[in-house]
């Protein structure tokens, strides 16, 4: 199999499954074999003790006679049971009294200390590996039990000799089975793991295929989300959310590119046209001065567009620098109102400042004085721009509270009696380059459509919020909320 397969998720899952399963199987087999081997050998010893005990009882009742060999009939018939063997009986002086016929031509090397221990009433086991006499035992050796026996005043040692070939051959066969089963089982586990991982990975593969089909021109498409509440469905939902954000970003980028191109093209076209006209023939100093003044206005318009876009870009990239100043909000709004009255006077519009009467204390906030001043100047300038002559604009400063909660917001409201904003347009007024009234020409009331976008960006940067209420031909209200600074 290509090694690249193991670099894939399916390959890694399959390999991990086989390794974990293999380690578990080997440990389980090792433990199982050792438990079985220990139990088999214990059972073997138990049978030998039972047979030796039976012989000991026979000696106790009848003394040592050839009849005791009938007590070990299983031992006299090798091959009929895994527990077969031979017997010897020694007296207290260590002399042989009787032994199995099979040992008649063989002198079994015995442990004299264990013989004495058995004569003294203790039972002892030993395992002996000796050169085998023909037909008695093999290379697995023999298990020797030294067992006490007595008849009246006489003490004996019953030596039970059982070849281990039966038990050990059974364990050898078990090991061979384990050695054969483990690789076969691991192979089957690898195949099963590969198949199961293929099925588990199939939805991911489908997601990948569908995701590859979604391009910049097809961002309206979405990935299929299954009904199963699992990780794959959550991944699909997350990807769909990301695609939706990308779609919105692409739409915003396209709209921005279109609007910016349009806004920048117009002043540049005017500049080029006026310069080309002025260069067609020699003109007086006054004519050149008029052209330069017109060009300066267009350059200022270009500068306003670039500066506005730069500020919005800094906000969107979290790079807008906001000063951390303690600001008296009432003084800030008074400053903005006094500056706006100069512009309002040209249309005979009265700008009225209202401060809350029930709480004459100053309201303090934390933020950037210059940027917040531009925010309120922008709102007041818009109010003047879209208000009819001989009307009033009200700027109110107060606190926002309710439902028994402590005051947390400072509120500034700008209310005009102007043309108002259509309900459908109201939700879009804070978008860049958006103008509710697109019919206006490039006169003194012409708007680039960046002012309210900048207002929202600055207020958001101050952890505040801004909203608008309006009714066509009756006027508009813009509300700014800023967190109150509590010392």
Is the sign of the CA dihedral 222, 223, 229, 234 positive or negative? Answer: negative
Q: Specify the higher pLDDT residue, 69 or 385.
A: 385
pLDDT the model gives residue 338: 92
Alpha carbon distances (Å) from 190 to 3, 5, 187 = 15, 13, 5
Beta strands at 154-163 and 350-355: parallel, antiparallel or unpaired: unpaired
Q: Specify the higher pLDDT residue, 438 or 89.
A: 89
What is the mean pLDDT of the segment spanning 168-196?
A: 89
Q: Considering the chain, what percentage of its residues have pLDDT values greater than 90?
A: 28
Domains by residue range for the chain, with CATH: 7-170 (3.30.450.20), 231-316 (1.10.287.130), 325-483 (3.30.565.10)
pLDDT the model gives residue 6: 63
Q: Cα angle at 113 between 107 and 119, to 5 degrees?
A: 90
What is the mean pLDDT of the segment spanning 339-347?
A: 89
What is the mean pLDDT of the segment spanning 21-40?
A: 92
pLDDT the model gives residue 443: 46
The answer to whether residue 259 scores a pLDDT higher than 80 is no
In this prediction, residue 28 has a pLDDT band, given cuts at 50, 70 and 90, of: very high
Find the largest Cα–Cα distance for the chain. Answer: 155
pLDDT the model gives residue 414: 95
- For the beta sheet containing 86-91, the strands, ordered from the edge strand earlier in sequence to the opposite edge, are 96-99, 86-91, 154-163, 142-151, 124-128
What is the mean pLDDT of the segment spanning 11-24?
A: 85
pLDDT the model gives residue 269: 83
What is the mean pLDDT of the segment spanning 149-157?
A: 91
DSSP 351-402: EEEEE-SS--S--EEEE-HHHHHHHHHHHHHHHHHTSPTT-EEEEEEEEE--
Phi, psi angle pair for 481, to nearest 5°: -120, 130
pLDDT the model gives residue 441: 41
Highest mean pLDDT among 263-277, 334-348, 431-445: 334-348
pLDDT the model gives residue 316: 66
pLDDT the model gives residue 447: 53
User: pLDDT for 406-445, tens place per residue?
Assistant: 558 899 999 998 888 888 888 888 877 666 554 444 444 4
pLDDT the model gives residue 352: 93
What is the mean pLDDT of the segment spanning 279-287?
A: 83
pLDDT the model gives residue 440: 44
Q: Specify the higher pLDDT residue, 135 or 387.
A: 387
Alpha carbon distances (Å) from 94 to 88, 112, 277 = 11, 8, 141
- Unique residue bearing structure tokens 């030596």: 159
The answer to whether residue 170 scores a pLDDT higher than 60 is yes
In this prediction, residue 264 has a pLDDT band, given cuts at 50, 70 and 90, of: confident
Decide: 332 and 372 in contact? Cβ < 8 Å. yes
In this prediction, residue 360 has a pLDDT band, given cuts at 50, 70 and 90, of: low
Reported for 232-239, long-range contacts at CB under 8 A and 24+ positions apart, including other chains, are: 232/203, 232/204, 232/207, 235/204, 235/207, 236/207, 239/207, 239/211
pLDDT the model gives residue 76: 45
pLDDT the model gives residue 438: 47
Decide: 482 and 367 in contact? Cβ < 8 Å. yes
Non-local CB neighbours of 161 within 8 Å, separated by 6+ positions: 85, 86, 87, 88, 103, 108, 142, 143, 144
Q: Specify the higher pLDDT residue, 97 or 302.
A: 97
Give 270: exposed, middle or buried? Use CB within 10 Å, 0-12, 13-18, 19+: middle
Least confident of 310-314, 348-352, 439-443: 439-443
- Unique residue bearing structure tokens 């300038």: 381
What is the mean pLDDT of the segment spanning 262-267?
A: 72
User: pLDDT for 37-79, tens place per residue?
Assistant: 999 999 989 988 988 898 898 888 888 887 777 665 544 444 4
Terminal-residue alpha carbon distance, the chain: 71
Instruction: Tell me how crowded residue 5 is: count the other CB atoms within 10 A of its CB.
Output: 13
What is the mean pLDDT of the segment spanning 225-241?
A: 77
Q: Considering the chain, what percentage of its residues have pLDDT values greater than 70?
A: 85
Decide: 27 and 40 in contact? Cβ < 8 Å. no
How would you classify residue 55: left for phi > 0, otherwise alpha for psi between -120 and 50, otherwise beta? alpha
Q: Which two tokens stand for residue 479?
A: 């509300």
Highest mean pLDDT among 130-139, 356-365, 396-405: 356-365
Determine the 3-state secondary structure of 144 from DSSP. Answer: strand
C-alpha to C-alpha distance for 387 and 432, rounded to whole angstroms: 22
Residues in the chain: 487
Q: Specify the higher pLDDT residue, 371 or 267.
A: 371
Report the mean per-residue pLDDT for the chain.
82
| 332-368 exposure pattern, b = at least 16 Cβ within 10 A, e = fewer | bbeebbeebbebbeeeebebebeeeeeeeeebbbbbb
Q: Specify the higher pLDDT residue, 145 or 1.
A: 145
User: pLDDT for 183-200, tens place per residue?
Assistant: 998 898 888 888 887 777
How would you classify residue 94: left for phi > 0, otherwise alpha for psi between -120 and 50, otherwise beta? left
What is the mean pLDDT of the segment spanning 240-250?
A: 81
Percent helix / strand / coil, the chain, rounded to 5: 55, 15, 30
Decide: 353 and 383 in contact? Cβ < 8 Å. no
Closest CA to 9 of 232, 291, 290: 232
C-alpha to C-alpha distance for 341 and 230, rounded to whole angstroms: 62
Q: Which two tokens stand for residue 15?
A: 């390999």
């Amino acid at each position: 199999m290509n090694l690249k397969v193991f670099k894939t998720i399916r390959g890694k899952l399959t390999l991990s499954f086989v390794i974990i399963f293999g380690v578990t199987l080997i440990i389980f087999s090792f433990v199982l074999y050792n438990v079985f081997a220990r139990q088999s050998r214990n059972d073997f010893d138990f049978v030998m003790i039972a047979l030796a005990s039976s012989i000991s009882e026979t000696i106790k009742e009848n003394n040592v006679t050839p009849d005791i060999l009938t007590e070990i009939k299983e031992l006299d018939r090798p091959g009929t049971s895994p527990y077969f063997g031979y017997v010897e009986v020694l007296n207290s002086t260590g002399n042989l009294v009787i032994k199995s016929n099979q040992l008649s031509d063989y002198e079994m090397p015995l442990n004299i200390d264990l013989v004495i221990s058995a004569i003294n009433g203790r039972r002892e086991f030993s395992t002996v590996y000796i050169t085998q006499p023909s037909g008695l035992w093999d290379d697995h050796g023999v298990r020797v039990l030294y067992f006490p026996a007595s008849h009246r005043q006489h003490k004996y040692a019953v030596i039970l000799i059982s070849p281990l070939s039966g038990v050990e051959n059974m364990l050898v066969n078990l090991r061979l089975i384990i050695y054969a089963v483990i690789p076969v089982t691991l192979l089957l586990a690898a195949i099963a793991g590969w198949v199961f991982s293929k099925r588990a990975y199939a939805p991911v593969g489908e997601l990948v295929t569908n995701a590859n089909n979604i391009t910049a021109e097809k961002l309206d498409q979405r990935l299929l989300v299954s009904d199963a509440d699992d990780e794959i469905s959550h991944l699909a939902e997350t990807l769909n959310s990301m695609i939706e954000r990308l779609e919105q970003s692409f739409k915003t980028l396209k709209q921005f590119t279109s609007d910016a191109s349009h806004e920048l093209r117009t002043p540049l076209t005017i500049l080029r046209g006026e310069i080309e006209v002025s260069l067609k023939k020699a003109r007086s100093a006054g004519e050149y001065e008029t052209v330069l003044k017109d060009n300066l206005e267009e350059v200022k318009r270009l500068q306003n567009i670039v500066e506005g876009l730069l500020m919005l870009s800094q906000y969107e990239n979290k790079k807008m620098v906001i000063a951390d100043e303690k600001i008296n909000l009432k003084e800030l709004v008074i400053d903005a109102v006094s500056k706006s009255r100069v512009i309002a006077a040209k249309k005979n519009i009265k700008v009225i400042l209202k401060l809350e009467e029930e709480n004459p204390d100053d309201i303090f906030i934390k933020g950037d004085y210059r940027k917040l001043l531009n925010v309120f100047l922008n709102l007041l300038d818009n109010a003047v721009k879209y208000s009819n002559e001989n009307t009033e604009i009200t700027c109110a400063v107060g606190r926002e509270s309710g439902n028994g909660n402590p005051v947390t917001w400072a509120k500034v409201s700008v209310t005009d009696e102007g043309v108002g904003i259509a309900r459908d347009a109201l939700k879009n007024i804070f978008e860049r380059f958006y103008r509710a009234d697109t019919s206006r020409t490039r006169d003194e009331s012409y708007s680039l459509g960046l002012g309210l976008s900048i207002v929202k960006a600055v207020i958001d940067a101050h952890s505040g919020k801004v909203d608008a209420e309006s009714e066509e031909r009756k006027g508009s209200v813009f509300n700014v909320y800023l967190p109150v600074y509590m010392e």
